[in-house]
Amino acid sequence: MIKLLIAGLALGMTACASRTSLPAAEQSGASTGATPPAVSLERTPCFGTCPVYTIAVSPSGLVTFEGRAHVRLLGTATGQIPRQRVDALLIELERAGYFRFAGRYAVSEPTCGRYVTDLPTVISTASLKRRTKRIEHDHGCGSVPGALAVLEKRIDEVLGSSEWVGNRK
């Protein structure tokens, strides 16, 4: 009986999984493999209808999107951007000081300053020249350099998240 219950749960979970992708002309022929992303961005829930998703791009330009809530596309999608755009984004992040920002801007950190509740957190990573930087940015923190939020939006723009998130103001 237990085996039957476990099998039923596994089947149910598989049936609920969602996978969507772009038209074949926009897909990459590359496999996702174990190559770590060059840049990634995750937007977490807020108290409201903030979009919740993760988007990442490999060094070769393979973009992977996973929509979780309050986005046009729930599930996974892939696309492709030119490798040169990935390289240009990494250079832009480096020149703007991304690798010098603190690693964490959260309510429990001295980097936070005044705090407002119920806002999302953005977790971004960038890998360039054998170094990787991960930044956790709680948007409720008041003492975060303004350039960080600008760079987060720039990552969204270059990776094309609006295609799957939808137009939100």
| Domain architecture of the chain: domains with CATH | 18-165 (3.30.1560.10)
Q: What is the pLDDT along the chain (169 residues), one digit of tens a residue?
A: 444 444 444 434 333 333 344 433 333 334 445 578 999 999 999 999 999 999 999 999 999 999 999 999 999 999 999 999 999 999 999 999 999 999 999 999 999 999 999 999 999 999 999 999 999 999 999 999 999 999 999 999 999 999 999 976 5
Give the pLDDT score at 168: 60
Give the pLDDT score at 48: 94
Give the pLDDT score at 11: 39
Long-range contacts made by residues 93-99, C-beta under 8 angstroms, separation at least 24?
93/39, 93/126, 93/128, 93/151, 93/155, 94/128, 96/147, 96/150, 96/151, 97/145, 97/147, 98/126, 98/133, 98/135, 98/148, 98/151, 99/126, 99/128, 99/131, 99/133
Give the pLDDT score at 26: 36
Give the pLDDT score at 33: 53
